Structure 1
Amino acid sequence: MKVVYIGTYVPRECGIGTFTKNLLRSTKQIIYETPVESIVVALNDAENISDYPDEVKFIINQDQQEDYIQAADFINNNGVDCCILEHEYGIFGGQSGLYILPLLHRLKVPIVVTFHTVLERPSYNEKAVLIAISKMANAIVVMSNKAIRLLQRIYHVSVEKIFCIDHGVPTFNKSQVAAKEELQLTGKRVLLTFGFLGRNKGIETVIKSLVEVVKRFPDTLYVVLGKTHPNVLRHSGEEYRNYLKQLVTELGLNHHVLFINEFIAQDILATYLSACDIYITPYINEAQITSGTLSYAIGAGAGVLSTPYWHAKELLKDGRGRLFGFKDVDGLSSLLLELLGDHEKLSELRARALAYGQETTWPKIAAKYLKLYDEIIARAHVHKKDFSEVNINDLPPFSLEHVKRLTNPVGIIQHATYAIPNYKEGYCLDDNARALLLTLMAYQQFNDPDALALIPTYLAYIHYMQKEDGLFRNFMGFDNQFTEAVGSEDAFGRTIWALGYLFAHAPCDGYYQLGRQLFFNAAKHFERLDSIRAIAYTIIGICHYLEHQPNDEGMIERMRALSFRLVNAYENNKTDKWHWYEPLLAYDNAILPLALLQAVKFLNDDTIQTVAMETLDFLEKICLKNGYLSIVGNQQWFYKDQHVSKFGQQPIDVLATVMMFNQAYVLTAKKEYLEKIFVSFKWFLGENDLRITIYDHETKGCCDGLEVYGVNRNQGAESTLAYLISYLTVYKTYNSL
């Protein structure tokens, strides 16, 4: 059996790295039924460690996204049977560590994840990342029952996937007498806290409690063992340690508190733990699901006192330790006086801790992990989801909640700050046209009363923005003042699209008559368009109109002329390896073949269909080559003979792609396009380059795109409308099968 561990690793000074080292070393020492080979993929931070031990076979620089992809390739190509991920938010790059997601997705071996942190109140990104990891994991290991409950309640993880395995501890071989002698602490009543220092550790509570303790037991020494946490050191320096030292001086405790500012080796740590009489974890809040330091203290058979954070309440039950309140100086002082003054009571506490700790030594814990690896490898198998298994009921419920949030009596606000309308940015014609299209579709498919109520708002905005000459303004401030003389051609084309759809789907005659007036007021400008995307949007709008009036020969000829504008653009830019309408792939790319696919219904022209399918195939090879949708990003786009820009991926491109494949299915009836419709749509739900959902299940909005750092969490109108129109396209197609 060959396993690979992904996490931090020694000599990096990190608790996760120490955990991984201990687990790996212990599995090697066990005589197991099948030989075990263990290797490590180590995470580097800014320190850029290079002197790793031999078992480290690959190094990921934490903030270099490409390293994660290369690590996946390394694992897949090295005969690994199982991957073990040691997960903690702070050790992976991207928002809340999401760079790990593409790595996990690409793995071809089963995955076991150990969650060292499970948050009860995660941020949006923290929750999304943990849910995504949980879906990809074959098994999840946690170290407390509280973590199991949180995973079920907050992250919706099936309990069958979760295993509770205690934190491993060293085997302690030294007596207390020998350990104190070695550390020159003979004759001292030793209190100990170890681990990285930071404000959340609550060390000041212990120091303040000593004032009364040392009066009765002047031989008391409190050892604070550990360096300041690297993140704290980076941002605040030694401010906290200096505060503690000043507090010690002010309270006259200089002879009773010893600070050891080191990240010490495990054998020395074991000696301190063996030497201490009482171990204290005075953390100041309950939200800690795992504490390795507490586990070590129990393993050493120390008398343990702790605040009631989650792991402590579980680990110290049944008389294995005692609890005191958060920041409760008097409570801790009373416990210390009680136990230091009652040898029998302290000995009983220590004995119960030691008995439990002997069942959690690293060899015993490692054996449980090996058994789990074996089980997961035995039952894991690669399962490719077949199209026949696609279930439309797997989609989130359709909701206009966020659209209503963004809409006021004037129209839909174009931008949002997170999920809150950003009034400073005002309105735009593009989004109100999309909103009209969406609400018409929603009313047609679901008879949605909210959609029906919103239709006149968006139609009225379009009416207000049309000039006397038939052109449209686009932008308007929140003060209802126009911000330009005339809008873009793209906004014009999108409006024609929505108005064309209105012809066949207007819920009442009044809306139909106004839409018709607006459409034909603008029609004289169709032939004057220069933007190929504006031409494409207009073609689609004309197609919708022709579904209502299929015998309008004049409009058919207008559409033919526009369609050949796209064909000519294609012929002028086509080369043997470049089958596209421009020398670059920019934004809303799939709208171009979509328009020609729509036009074929009415024009029955082989040239138009050939160009449409050639460009569809070209775009598909670029955006679906890895089995999921990877849209051309707007950071640099994709110029001929250059690299594809991966990030700045936007939902409007996904919408166009969904509709393109949908129209290809309508035209050809080929089943392969049905699957591609759904694959493309699932970009919104996490089937993307970062493996994270773009749709927000809480707000019912859609985030603004994928950036190199993660998700753009703003939920503007364009993104949410793109998601919902895509949703309705998918729903209608699959529901009709």
Structure 2
Amino acid sequence: MTPVIAPAPSFSHVIRMSDDTGLFEHSRNAIVRREHGYCTDDVSRGLVVTSREPDPSEEVVRLAEIYLTFLTHAQDHTGAFRNRLGHDRRWSDRPALGDWWGRALWGLGTAAARNPAPWIRKEAMIAFELGATKRSWAVRAMAFAGLGAAEVLRACPDHKGAAALLADAAKAVGEPGDHPDWPWPQEHLTYANASLAEVVIAAGKLGGDHQVLESGLRMLSWLHDVQRTGDRLSVIAVGGYRRNGPRNRHDQQPIEVASFADACATAAEATGDPAWEDGISQAVAWFLGDNDLGTPMWDSTTGGSYDGLTPTGPNPNQGAESTLALVSTLQHARRLS
């Protein structure tokens, strides 16, 4: 597939959704809904994309500082994290090890390894190392944490804590099945499915285990086939897809597209095979309008992404998760171009 000509990543709507505390979760169209407050999940995603910027503006560095401050405030002395903070600056939950713990470690690991600001890298590493002492019962939480550990290992190959966490994350995902029609460790595809394949690929590559690497690549290749209609990407919709069950096409979420682009980028890096970059191009094209309804999934005037592809068109709300998914995917497109 020919690489898609894509716009440069824009942080304009991310800036609009942020204040000096963190990143608001929801919006009505492009206007922030402050009453819903902030969540560690989205702030962590924000730290990932701001830390991936190779030459960030002062404003983007400031966003990374805000997001890192939020995460260190959310983390308790054991390494667990709270998830939901109201606009009144009060937490509504207790520290735990759900998906938000994993995403926090993903953000912290990315910041520790990639952020251009040395003071951000230093503080992020301290928080990452504390959080990396924990383990979650949730498969996806472990996968997200493992992706943060992989970032740390790329920068610090001898980091034992990151290596142990990444290996445990791959084990938590499990081995792919033998049946060619369903070579997936679980019987149900739910959300952020590509992240499971990605963390197995990263564990195999960084751990020097060819068999694990091949398992992850086989998972991702099959997922690509499942999420494709011709040359068009059609990601697993809300509600998931169960083995031998019906396949629902709506609502498709931008975060699924972004996680697929991330996984394809990791596969391309791990194998040196440029064919994986076709998946990135398909993810970019999905946002630009090459999707099941043939409609753009982003607002060029605000820089925000729509929250979902419904049977009647885009959900016009431009929340943090969706917009960060757009930015993340366009970061990969910039590298390809």
Q: TM-score range by the shorter chain?
A: over 0.9
Structure 1 residue 698 corresponds to structure 2 residue 305: no
- 5+ residue gaps, structure 2, are none
Give the Cα–Cα distance (whole angstroms) in 2 for the partners of residues 713 and 500 of structure 1: 32
Residue aligning to 2:71: 462
**CA displacement 1:604-645 (0-9 Å, x = unmatched):** 2122112112211211111124211001111x3211101111
Contact 2:133 / 2:161 at 8 angstroms: preserved in 1?
A: no
Amino acid at match of 2:79: G
Distance in 2, matches of 1:602 and 1:670, equals 17
Q: Which amino acid aligns with 1:565?
A: A
Q: 1:397 to 1:503 in 2, by over 3 A?
A: closer
Q: Deviations over 1:235-287 (max 9, x none)?
A: xxxxxxxxxxxxxxxxxxxxxxxxxxxxxxxxxxxxxxxxxxxxxxxxxxxxx
Which residue number in structure 2 is paired with residue 618 of structure 1?
222
Regions of 4+ moved over 6 Å? none
2:13 touches 2:303 (CA, 8 Å); kept in 1?
yes
Q: Aligned AA for 1:435? A: G
Give the 5 Å matches for 1:540-579: 540-568=147-175, 570-571=176-177, 575-579=179-183
CA distance in 1: counterparts of 2:263 and 2:275, whole angstroms: 13
Give the equivalent residue in structure 2 for 1:587.
191
In the other structure, the counterpart of 1:484 is: 93
1:535 to 125, 142, 156: 142
RMSD: 1.7
Shift of 1:487: 4.6
1:401 aligns with 2:12: yes
- In the TM superposition, 1:148-297 aligns within 5 A as none
Q: Which range moved further: 683-692 or 482-491?
A: 482-491
Deviation at 1:590, TM superposition (A): 0.6
For 1:426, the equivalent position in structure 2 comes to 37
CA distance in 2, matches of 1:726, 1:520: 28
Name the aligned partner's letter for residue 601 of structure 1: K
Cα separation, 2, equivalents of 1:631 and 1:507: 33
**Contact in 2 for aligned 1:432/1:458 (Cα 8 Å):** yes
Secondary structure class of the residue paired with 2:314: strand
8 Å CA contact 1:503–1:516 kept in 2: the answer is yes
Distance 1:419 1:586 in 2: 27
Size of the alignment, in residue pairs? 337
1:52-451 equivalences under 5 Å are 387=2, 390=3, 394-442=5-53, 444=54, 446-451=55-60
Deviates more, 1:719-728 or 1:511-520: 511-520
The code of the aligned residue for 2:192 comes to D
SS in 2 for 1:411: coil
Contact 1:412 1:431 (8 Å CA) reproduced: yes
Which residue of 2 is the match for residue 520 of structure 1?
129
Post-superposition offset of 1:548: 2.0
Match of 1:648 in 2: 251
What secondary structure, in the 3-state scheme, does the structure 1 residue paired with 2:174 have? Answer: helix
- 1:684 partner letter: F
Quote the Cα distance in structure 1 between the aligned partners of 2:161 and 2:67: 29
1:671 and 1:520 map into 2 onto residues whose CA distance is: 34
Kept after mapping to 1: 8 A contact 2:25/2:321: yes
TM-score by length of 2: 0.95
- Tell me the distance in 2 between the aligned counterparts of 1:554 and 1:664: 23
Which structure has more RCO (C-alpha within 8 Å, separation ≥ 6)? Answer: 2
For residues 40-80 of structure 1, what are the alpha-carbon distances to aligned partners after superposition, in whole Å with 9 as ceiling and x for unaligned? xxxxxxxxxxxxxxxxxxxxxxxxxxxxxxxxxxxxxxxxx
What is the distance in 2 between the residues matched to 1:680 and 1:485?
Answer: 36
Post-superposition offset of 1:554: 4.9
Are the counterparts in 2 of residues 585 and 637 from structure 1 also a CA contact under 8 Å?
A: yes
SS in 2 for 1:633: coil
- Aligned-residue identity in percent: 27
Letter in 1 for 2:258: L
Which blocks of at least 5 consecutive residues in structure 1 are unaligned? 1-385
Q: Deviations over 1:444-476 (max 9, x none)?
A: 2x3323211211111111111111221000001
Is structure 2 residue 321 aligned with structure 1 residue 710? no
Contact in 2 for aligned 1:665/1:671 (Cα 8 Å): yes
Correspondence for 1:601 among 196, 205, 213: 205
